[in-house]
Amino acid sequence: MFRRALWVLCSVALIAGMGVASPAWAEPKDPAPVDSVPAEETAEVVRPDWTSAVVTARAQGVPVEVLSERTETTRVLVGPDGAVTEETAFAAVRFEDESAEDGWRDIDTTL
């Protein structure tokens, strides 16, 4: 008798739990429109050394890359608040090229 009652109780609990855990369906939300930003405002700012990068970041209120710290896989950014961020890639994303404006050229992965 006890085993049967336990079996019934467990079965009812399992069925009730499955009913509660069923996924809810909802209509997908339309994405909110995004304002376009002029290219001048999205262009990254690069300075050759730490001092000029910190001064520029504070003056313009945008992150500035420190060119002297750039490598094939890393780049260092100074934020307007003085915070330093290092972005590191798993593999090379650029290579040194003296003919490029800043001495580096991004690797073209669209070939």
Q: Which residue has the tokens 């608040």?
A: 81
Cβ(88)–Cβ(74) under 8 Å? yes
Domain locations in the chain as residue ranges:
44-106
- Report DSSP letters for 34-56, one per residue: -----HHHHSPEEESSHHHHHHH
Q: Where are the alpha helices (DSSP H) in the chain?
A: 2-20, 39-42, 50-60
At 36-86, the pLDDT tens digits run 555 455 458 999 999 999 999 999 999 999 999 999 999 999 999 999 999
What's the DSSP call for residue 28?
P
pLDDT category at 34 given cuts 50, 70, 90 is: low
